[in-house]
Amino acid sequence: MTFQEIIFTLKSFWSAKGCVSLEPYDYPVGAATFHPSTFLRALGPEPWKAVYVQPCRRPTDGRYGENPNRLQHYYQLQALLKPSPDNIQDLYIESLQALGVERNKNDIKFVDDNWESPSLGAAGVGWEVWLNGMEISQFTYFQQVGGIDCKPVSGELTYGLERIAMHLQSVDNLYDIKWNNDITYGEIYLQNEEENSKYNFELVEPKIFIKLFDDMEKECINLIEESLPIPAYDLLLQNSHSLNLLDSRQAISSTERQAYILRLRKLSSLIAKKYLENREKINFPLIKN
Amino acid sequence: MAKKNLLFEIGTEDLPSKNLRIFSEKIKNNIEENLKKNGINYSVLKNYYTNIRLIFIVVSIDEEIIIEKKIIKGPPVEKCFDELGEPTKTALGFAKKYQAGLDDLSQKIIDNKKYLFYEKPQSIIKTQDMLSKILEKSLGDIEGQKKMRWGSSSILFIRPIRWMLLLLEDKHIETSILGVKTTNYTYGDKANSNNKIIVNSIDKYFESLKKEKIQIDQNKRSDIIKKNIATIVTDHQYDNKIDSELLDEVANMAEYPYVYTGRFPDEYLELPDEVLSYVIQDTQKYFMLYKDKKITNSFIGTSNVKINKNIITGNERVINPRLDDARFFISKDLNNSIFEKKDLLKKIIFHKKLGSMFDKVERISELSEYINNKSYRDKKLKHKEIAAVCKLDLISHMVVEIPSLQGYIGCYYAHKKGMHEDVANGIKEHYAPRNPEEEIPKSIDAQIVSIADKLDTIVGIFLINEKPTGTRDPLGIRRATNGLLRIMLKTNHRIDLADLINASYGIITKNPNILKDSENILPECNSFFKEKLFLIFKENYGFKDNVISSVIDNKNINPYDMMKKIEAIDSILENHEYDELFSNAKRVTNILKKSSGALSLNIKENLLRESSEIILYDTINNIKDELNSLLEEHSYLDYLQKLNILNVCVKTFFEEVMINVDDQDIKLNRLSLLNITNNYYNNLANIAILGH
């Protein structure tokens, strides 16, 4: 199964289970959880089911294209089910079977791994899913988002697409993954990894991003005061990425980093609160019947 | 009475494997306690678990409990009826409380007063009607375990509950526990069939699970893995060494474990052992295989399903990039010469109120030098060199990535850079002992740095008033304290901990940027260490409370010396030849306690009248030089032996000499003589508290 077929299969699998099929978010993010379809929609009482692919940027994970298993830009596919259905684990296994992963021929383990995102004020309980020892998914029950308790609880299933493709195609190096039958992952992204690793580790100009962070934070607070949490959230995403760049460039100490994270956390709490208020004002329209 | 077996199975999504045993035991204890509280008898409660099941079997449980008839005394009759003979509120209230009619009540005279009585008849309650409440309470009261919510429900449990099977022998008990309806079915092996299986008896339950090849007994699952490993080990002549903690953990990740051997390219064996074990064992949960105590490129993994080639190659595919990543970091670090970048430590905060790691290193260095000056004055010791580089691996990529490798990685890099052997090992050893199993540092140099590092952390935390509370101990003060004391107990650094605390305090507070939250922490800090020492002497060494107290009450805190004293006292404690020594010491102390007025250490010889006080005085004078030198040489048993000579003189003194005489000068002189005697008793320890 090619990389693109994996995406098609999972998207149609979850669409058939009632998920809205969405597209990637157009801001840089470190994980699919940052997509507003997860962060914002997980808040409040409204039900929500969505599936989407999200390209993710993690500057510190760059390896100049030299490591067979690590990338600073990669893809996650995410299904968010709110409230989490009772058979969510079975559905997940079923989705793997749709990819041709036979349950009784592969060792699938759910390894205890509680998730926390300090900058999003979010925490969840869940697992890493291991397929023959390789972590291919994160499975999380959100307990808190933006500092607010989740009621109902969302179940988040995040697939590491490259890892799954490596397994299905039996390749040892992710650059050898067949994107389709003619072209490999490496042919599309190797140069991207080389150039971005060089930039992230060596050439990021800290001054720019430190100033950008301050400016965006101000703008973000203004927007929250204007009761516009959705655009405010975009600016938070921008700041989260700036922080990641400062981090990969080793431009800030661990204390400074901690202080930046606290600033993000403050913003995300304010945004979550405001978003919930706005939804309440329009009577939580997704609650039907 | 009829006895039956009870089966309670909670089906969940995968449970955390590390805490599973503790978690199951806690529920088991709760059920036992709640059954007892309700007077329900049973013979034994067994608990089993797998990654998705918590199973409790109560063997021979009472089917019903009989509440015996009971006679209840009520209010006095005079208050129960009015003038017209109508029952009052008092009487009606009493009857209502026990759901009795007025006719059911009787009257009886006690001590010339008439009272109402109710004879509550025997009643029978079915156990099955009480189960829901008992089990719900047992599942709810679990401390120290992170719980979660799921879906739209507000139930809190460790992981989502998917079914709850409740059987009393061959009968399903329909009820609801924690808001979950009990079922008459279980599930088969998730990995293979995922069948819903209706079970109508406990026998059928075991039969079905056996057919599904599920091993619910955790110990048997561990044994399966152990046996398989043993075969591999013998066949290929690996060292016989299995990590038992990992064994339990992986046994808890399966319903039935299968075992395989995997390999990785041997080029990675050049990585430091700690890196290999971190990747292989800690993250991937494989058993490492050793030959002649050296890590080999083979490992043993466990699987939930029967082994096929894909499972093995899949696992091998994971481990390579992880090891490759470690190699990437190490080569980056080695090119980066971390040992020349001390200033980068300024960027790493030790604690926001106690400065950076750079500041800490300076303090460690100064305190190490203090220890050396006090105890050794040895210019050849490498403690300064170790102190200077001991924290530098914190700036390395490898340690930033895997913090638990601190020390090990620095040691590895230092060897690669050709640093002096003692310095390189000192980087690793100054963290020791990291846990109760680990040895203390081998070299004196590393011991000094380790003491300095740990003490700096502890005194610092007292200064900023962030002592550990409950489970919160972010800087690992408890571990540091135990480690520090273990070093000081085993090595003779001839240094008093109270002085050392003082010195550390001086060094920390010299920096004007450090804000003190607590004034006068020294006494508090000293008693903290004394309490810890007490516990160690008691729990780790098994010494008696009073023996420990006799030494700890002393104002000095020299753990090594305390140990020697305790050993000396302990060795004669049961020896009757010394009974009199302890009781004399007690008697002398008591007399001195009662006496008022200033005691002196000067004896006026001309005031010594009785022969027995002269003998005591002379004997002390005869042995005092020897006593003092024995104390100096830390020959404590010899000291006690010598002291034992005084017994006869002290005894005769008490028999023949009056202390409370009218002549105040003579009285004072006699008390002073006892005071001198007492000093010799006390010089070693407060042995008076050992007397009977």
**CATH code for position A221:** 1.20.58.180
**Token pair recorded at residue B135:** 């089990």
Sign of CA pseudo-dihedral A63, A68, A70, A76: positive
Find the length of chain B: 692
Do B454 and B484 sit in the same domain of this protein?
yes
Q: For residue B567, report the phi and psi dihedrals to the nearest 5 degrees.
A: -60, -40
Nearest to A132 among B14, B315, B325 (CB): B315
- Nearest residue of A to residue B347 by CA position? A253
Question: What does the pLDDT read at residue B304?
Answer: 93
More confident residue, B111 or B172: B172
Cα–Cα distances in angstroms (integers) from residue A110 to residues A83, A124, A135, B525, B660, in the given order: 21, 15, 10, 46, 82
**Residue pLDDT, tens place only, B627-684:** 999 998 989 999 999 999 888 888 988 888 888 888 888 888 898 999 999 999 888 8
Tell me whether residue B663 is in a domain.
yes
In the predicted model, what is the mean pLDDT of chain B? 90
Give the per-residue pLDDT at B418: 93
d(CA B255, CA B189): 7
User: Helix, strand, or coil here: A34?
Assistant: helix
B507-532 confidence digits (pLDDT tens): 998 887 776 666 678 888 898 999 99
Structural domain count of chain B: 5
Close Cβ partners of B576 (under 8 Å, ≥ 6 residues apart): none
Is residue B501 within 8 Å of residue B526, measured between CB atoms? yes
| CA distance, residue B535 to nearest chain A CA (Å) | 35
* pLDDT category of residue B401 using cuts at 50, 70 and 90: confident
Residues B498, B351, single domain; the answer is yes
Q: What average pLDDT does the segment B85-112 reach?
A: 84
**Is the overall model pTM greater than 0.90, yes or no?**
no
Q: Within a domain: residue B612? A: yes
B14–A127 CB contact, under 8 Å: yes
Query: What's the gap in Å between the CA of B190 and the closest CA on chain A?
Result: 9
pLDDT recorded at residue B191: 79
- Kindly determine whether residue B304 and residue A66, on different chains, have CB atoms separated by under 8 Å: no
Find the CB nearest A253 among B192, B284, B348: B348
Residues B656 and B610 in one domain: yes
Question: Cα–Cα distance between A103 and B306 in angstroms, integer?
Answer: 11
Q: Which helix (H) or strand (E) holds A211?
A: helix A206-225
Whether residue A170 and residue B320 make contact (CB cut-off 8 A), yes or no, is no
User: Which chain A residues are Cβ-neighbours of B324 within 8 angstroms?
Assistant: 67-69
Q: Does residue A286 lie within any of the structural domains? A: no
Is residue B292 very low, low, confident or very high in pLDDT (cuts 50, 70, 90)?
very high
Alpha-carbon gap: B217 to the closest alpha carbon of chain A (Å):
19
- Answer positive or negative: Cα dihedral of A194, A199, A202, A203: positive
Report the gap between the CA of B510 and the closest CA in chain A (Å).
23
- CB burial string B497-528: b at 16+ within 10 A, e below: bbebbebbbebbeeeeebeeeeeebeeebbeb
- Please tell me whether residues A154 and A208 are part of one structural domain: no
Q: Is ipTM over 0.90? A: yes
Structure confidence at residue B519 (pLDDT)? 67
- In this complex, the residue of A105, A166, A255 whose CB is nearest that of residue B305 is A105
DSSP letter at B611?
Answer: H
Among A210-224, B51-65, B141-155, B502-516, which range has the highest average pLDDT? A210-224
Residues of chain A found within 8 Å of residue B150, distances taken between Cβ atoms: 84, 141, 153, 155
Residue from A46, A87, A94, A109 whose CB has the most chain B CBs within 10 Å, to mutate: A109
Closest CA to B343 of A258, A260, A253: A253
Contact criterion met (CB below 8 Å) for A288 and A237? no
Which two tokens mark B356? 């950076």
Distance of CA B93 to the CA centre of its chain: 53
Q: Does B265 score more than 80 pLDDT?
A: yes
Please name the member of A103, A105, A134 whose beta carbon is closest to the beta carbon of B318. Answer: A134
Residue with the larger pLDDT of the pair B354 and B233: B233
Using CA coordinates, name the residue in chain A closest to B258: A107
From A178, A200, A222, the end of a domain falls on A200
Q: Which of A155, A172, A200 is the last residue of a domain?
A: A200
How many structural domains are present in chain A?
A: 2
CB contact under 8 A, A109 and B253: yes
Cα A259 to Cα B686: distance, rounded to the nearest angstrom: 53
Which pLDDT score is estimated for A222? 97
Range list of β-strands (E), B207-252: none
Q: Choose from B20, B22, B51, B148 for mutation: most chain A CBs within 10 A.
A: B148
Reference A121, options A274, A232, A229, A262; nearest CA is: A262
Whether the upstream peptide bond of residue A24 has omega within 30° of 0, thus cis, is no
- Specify whether A9 is located in the same domain as A106: yes
> Which residue range is the domain that position A152 belongs to?
3-200
pLDDT at residue B91 tops 90: no
Residue B470: the pLDDT is 67
The count of CB pairs under 8 A between chains A and B is 120
In a domain, A289, yes or no: no
Tokens for B134, please give them.
Answer: 């008992």
Could you give the CA distance from residue B244 to residue B229 in angstroms, rounded to a whole number?
12
Q: What is the pLDDT of residue B2?
A: 67
B558 assigned to some structural domain? no
The domain of B87 spans: 69-121
Show pLDDT as tens, one digit a residue, over chain A (289 residues): 999 999 999 999 999 999 999 999 999 999 999 999 999 999 999 999 999 999 999 999 999 998 888 899 999 999 999 999 999 999 999 999 999 999 999 999 999 999 999 999 999 999 999 999 999 999 999 999 999 999 999 999 999 999 999 999 999 899 999 999 999 999 999 999 999 999 999 999 999 999 999 999 999 999 999 999 999 999 999 999 999 999 998 888 766 788 899 999 999 999 999 999 999 999 999 998 7
Q: What phi and psi values does residue B98 have, to the nearest 5 degrees?
A: -105, 15
Residues B493 and B532 in one domain: yes
Answer whether residue B546 is part of any domain: no
The secondary structure of B642-683, three-state, reads: HHCCHHHHHHHHHHHCCCCCCCHHHHHHHHHHHHHHHHHHHC
pLDDT score of B350: 84
pLDDT digits (tens, 9 = 90+) for B169-218: 889 999 999 989 999 999 998 877 778 999 989 999 999 999 999 999 99
